[in-house]
């Protein structure tokens, strides 16, 4: 069985980015005032989720600029797994946007491993790349090769390793010139809201992250804080599996958790690519009618499961091809001598039973988010329209 610890202890542990497992039973006060406060919080969460279900809008990340001098430049994109649909969609966007600017995009796979990423940075330096986009591997773990790239005059753009922001001084010292990302902690809080509002205060949730992805620690912390705020009588256990072990370890982890606690009724893998390795184990343990999945990324396999009502309650997504265009926008600004933007304003959308049937999943994933034409809008910013 998973041991129980205090909510405060769990929150403190999750403040870091490291791995580890934990469990907590959150308990709240029984008074009328506490109940009224919780009900008000749940009503507010429902309103926010209603807004999150709506089609998204394009909001310019910064001023227009002349991006006409980038023809022939090569950008290296170091990605954490070319076999994952999430990564494939991002790379598609990067290639489209780079081509629109006359640049070449070379995508290479770190598999989320620091050692591999280090070698790929060295490769980009030796091949005189104009810029490096480093995805999902924490820059702090790559200080030596990043500094070498900076000495070679190659700017590094960090992608999906933390929430949108200007690079802090610690990253600037490593040569990180810009950050492009979704608001991961926003998505984590939104997932917690989905579980809390759906459960009626009776959630027994297993939250699964990956200790080698830099976004995991902040997401676990944000989910835990929002979950315990909205659902103080609910149970929460956290587990972590390294990226390279998802296919081999997630099935057995899922089975083990359900055998040790048969009352689990929500599974929350932080990343969509985890769900296909977990769902079959839920079915094999006979819990397919009792366990609901809530996840993040809105990749096709999980969206298809949502549409066929196969254990998926909700999937929160951000437009992945749009992210690729945002990465190139930030890169182009930096290569053109313009200030980087703090955020590419990449939106989230909630997909669930209320809107999934209105979507044609055979269409490109960006169509799922509504009519916003981010390609045309970016080209306008670059002086092409």
Output the domain CATH number for residue 11: 3.40.50.2300
Q: Verify that 178 and 323 share a domain, yes or no.
A: yes
The confidence band for 106, taking pLDDT boundaries of 50, 70 and 90, is: very high
Range of the domain at 298: 7-26+184-317
Q: What's this model's pTM, rounded to 2 decimal places?
A: 0.84
Q: Please, are residues 134 and 113 in contact by the beta-carbon 8 Å criterion?
A: no
Q: Verify that 309 and 161 share a domain, yes or no.
A: no
Predicted pLDDT of residue 76: 99
pLDDT higher than threshold 70 for residue 88: yes
For 333, other C-beta atoms within 10 Å of its C-beta total 23
Predicted pLDDT of residue 136: 87
- 119 belongs to a structural domain: yes
Cα 268 to Cα 282: distance, rounded to the nearest angstrom:
13
- 233 belongs to a structural domain: yes
Q: Verify that 301 and 192 share a domain, yes or no.
A: yes
pLDDT higher than threshold 70 for residue 127: yes
3-state secondary structure of 200: coil
Q: Verify that 165 and 228 share a domain, yes or no.
A: no
The two three-digit tokens of residue 148, written as one number: 């070498």
Q: Verify that 327 and 178 share a domain, yes or no.
A: yes
Please, where are the H alpha helices in the chain? 7-14, 32-52, 85-100, 114-126, 143-151, 169-172, 184-199, 216-230, 246-260, 275-284, 300-307, 320-335, 374-381
Question: How much of the chain exceeds pLDDT 70, in percent?
Answer: 91
Q: CB under 8 Å to 39, separation ≥6 — which residues? A: none
pLDDT higher than threshold 50 for residue 14: no
- 44 belongs to a structural domain: no
Picking from 193, 218, 223, 196, the residue whose alpha carbon sits closest to that of residue 207 is: 223
Structural Rg of the chain based on CA atoms: 21
- 66 belongs to a structural domain: no
Q: Verify that 326 and 339 share a domain, yes or no.
A: yes
The two three-digit tokens of residue 97, written as one number: 């946007």
Mean pLDDT of 270-280: 97
Predicted pLDDT of residue 38: 84
Q: How many domains does the chain have?
A: 2
Burial annotation 104-124 (CB, 10 A radius, 16+ → b, else e): ebbbbbbbbbeebbbebbebb
- 55 belongs to a structural domain: no
């Amino acid at each position: 069985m998973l041991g129980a610890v205090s909510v405060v202890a769990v929150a403190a542990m999750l403040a870091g980015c490291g791995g580890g497992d934990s469990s907590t039973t959150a308990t709240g006060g029984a008074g009328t005032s506490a109940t009224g406060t919780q009900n008000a919080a749940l009503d507010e969460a429902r309103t926010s989720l209603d807004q999150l279900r709506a089609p998204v809008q394009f909001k310019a990340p910064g001023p227009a600029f002349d991006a006409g001098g980038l023809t022939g430049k090569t950008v290296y994109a170091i990605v954490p797994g070319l076999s994952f649909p999430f990564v494939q969609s991002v790379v598609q966007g990067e290639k489209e946007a780079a081509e629109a600017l006359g640049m070449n995009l070379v995508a290479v796979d770190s598999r989320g491993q620091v050692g591999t990423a280090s070698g790929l940075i060295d490769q980009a330096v030796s091949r005189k790349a104009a810029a490096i986009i480093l995805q999902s591997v924490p820059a702090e773990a790559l200080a030596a090769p990043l500094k070498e790239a900076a000495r070679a005059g190659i700017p590094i753009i960090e992608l999906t390793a933390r929430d949108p922001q200007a690079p802090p001084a610690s990253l600037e010292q490593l040569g990180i010139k810009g950050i492009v990302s979704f608001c991961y902690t926003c998505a984590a809080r939104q997932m917690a809201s989905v579980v809390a509002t759906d459960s009626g205060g009776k959630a027994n949730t297993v939250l699964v992250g990956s200790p080698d992805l830099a976004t995991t620690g902040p997401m676990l912390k944000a989910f835990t804080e929002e979950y315990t705020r909205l659902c103080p009588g609910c149970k929460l256990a956290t587990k972590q599996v390294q990226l390279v072990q998802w296919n081999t370890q997630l099935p057995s982890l899922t089975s083990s958790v359900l055998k040790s606690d048969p009352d689990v009724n929500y599974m929350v893998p932080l990343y969509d690519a985890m769900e296909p390795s977990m769902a079959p184990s839920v079915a094999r343990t006979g819990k397919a009618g009792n366990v609901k999945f809530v996840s993040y990324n809105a990749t096709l396999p999980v969206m298809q499961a949502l549409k066929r009502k196969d254990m998926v309650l909700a999937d929160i997504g951000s437009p992945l091809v749009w992210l690729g265009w945002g990465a190139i926008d930030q890169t182009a600004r930096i290569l053109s001598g313009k200030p980087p933007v703090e955020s590419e304003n990449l939106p989230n959308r909630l997909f669930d039973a209320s809107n999934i049937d209105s979507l044609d999943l055979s269409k490109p994933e960006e169509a799922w988010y509504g009519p916003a034409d981010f390609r045309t809008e970016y080209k306008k910013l670059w002086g092409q329209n």
